[in-house]
Amino acid sequence: MILAADIGGTKSLFALWETTGSSWRIIYLRQYPSRSFTSLKDVIENFLADYASTHGCAPDIEVASFGMAATITNESCFLVNLGWTVEIQSLKERFPKIRKILVCNDLEATGHGLELLPSRDLHMLTPARQSIATVPPTQRESRRAIIAPGTGLGEAFLLGNKVISSEGSHCEFGPRSEIEVKLWRFFHEIYDHVSYERILSGPGLFQLERFVRQQYHGEASDSQLQPEDITRLALSGECAICQQALDHFVGILGAEAGNLALKFLAMDGVYLAGGIPPKILPKLQEGFFLRSFCAKGRYSQLMTKIPVSVVLNPHTALYGATSLAAQAVHPGIKPVLITAY
């Protein structure tokens, strides 16, 4: 049996899987609000207790794999959006019956999960585009990129089957217009350091609505609309302020996705993952996102050739963490996941 988990700033998703050959079937799935716990140990204990109360015994776990919204360094990591510090050795000591514990960045998990998704779980924003590479991917290592706005903003690169996580979302935001200079000043007064994550995230969308309310409408920037409310009101057309806020979000997301594609020469595609893109798919399909994505001066023509997809499956990172655990049990064998539960 393996345990896999996707630990995010808003929710933590846990699953137990059993194997038959190279196939792994999900047998127990639970989701928890991350902020209801003070540490990863606490939420693991809660999950194991829930399983035991349901099945009358503790699970026999061979490998546990945790994908976390954190930078993994030297056997420890810090989840910046939760304030949790995770020490790998401490986890092993607390859960000695789990024979092997793996940790990875959540975008690394997402990258591995992409390889397991059926085509129906990806929505192409650029259906007519093909890879711009002259050598087909079967004869070289493919180059792709992931950008994932949610509670925070994740970015990663895929070189062949290798996933390279990064903290590029914490790089400084680069305004593209006078209004974005004003937007930078607005965020600078709040955070000092204005990174792309400060804007391209749930909390960022919250602040964008406040910025629009103040900048365009001369109203006090004290709105308490939550990101999900802003998205809903924008897509329904019920709130002009929310529509403008979402327009800013989508334009900046397109620009940063394009930055990522250029920095890594992601000739084989860019993926929009995370919790927000599937929820704003109608807005992403309108064309403004792709215009911002392609607006790269002398490289604009090149950008028009890069495929862009939205990842629709919310369990992609969980599947990636599962894949890493499964390959620790059966090295070199690509797992087949049976996800019906």
Tokens found for residue 35: 């902020």
Number of domains in the chain: 2
Does residue 69 sit in the same domain as residue 210?
A: no
Shared domain for 138 and 102, answered yes or no, is no
Q: For position 51, what pLDDT does the model report? A: 96
Which of residues 335 and 292 earns the better pLDDT score? 292
* Mean pLDDT, range 255-270, rounded to an integer: 96
Query: Based on the domain organization, do 154 and 297 belong to the same domain?
Result: yes
Q: Are residues 298 and 173 in the same domain?
A: yes
pLDDT at 130 over 60: no
Instruction: Say what the pLDDT of residue 62 is.
Output: 94
What is the identity of the amino acid at 95?
Answer: F
| Count, residues in the chain | 341
Average pLDDT over residues 223-246: 94
For the ranges 69-73, 218-222, 247-251, the maximum mean pLDDT occurs at 247-251
% of the chain exceeding 70 in pLDDT: 96
Same domain, 128 and 88: no
Q: Inform me whether the pLDDT recorded for 135 exceeds 70.
A: no
What average pLDDT does range 238-264 have in this prediction? 97
Residue 198 scores a pLDDT above 70: yes
What's the CATH number where 233 sits? 3.40.367.20
Segments forming the whole domain that contains residue 63: 2-110+315-338
> The CATH number of the domain where 89 resides is what?
3.30.420.40
Instruction: Give me the mean pLDDT over the 135-145 stretch.
Output: 76
pLDDT value at position 339? 79
- Is pLDDT of 41 > 60? yes
Q: What is the pLDDT of residue 19?
A: 86
Determine the pLDDT at residue 336: 84
Q: For residue range 58-109, list pLDDT tens digits in order.
A: 999 999 999 998 888 878 888 988 999 999 899 999 999 999 999 999 999 9
> 237-265 b/e with 16+ CB inside 10 Å = b?
eebebbbbbbbbbbbbbbbbbbbbbeebe
Tens of pLDDT, residue by residue over 289-326, are: 999 999 999 999 999 999 999 999 999 999 999 999 99
Separation between Cα atoms, residue 274 and residue 153, nearest integer Å: 8
pLDDT of residue 278: 97
Domain match, 199 and 258 both: yes
Q: What is the mean pLDDT of residues 37-51?
A: 96
The pairing of strands 11-20 and 2-7 is antiparallel
User: Which segment of 29-38, 135-144, 312-321 scores lowest on mean pLDDT?
Assistant: 135-144
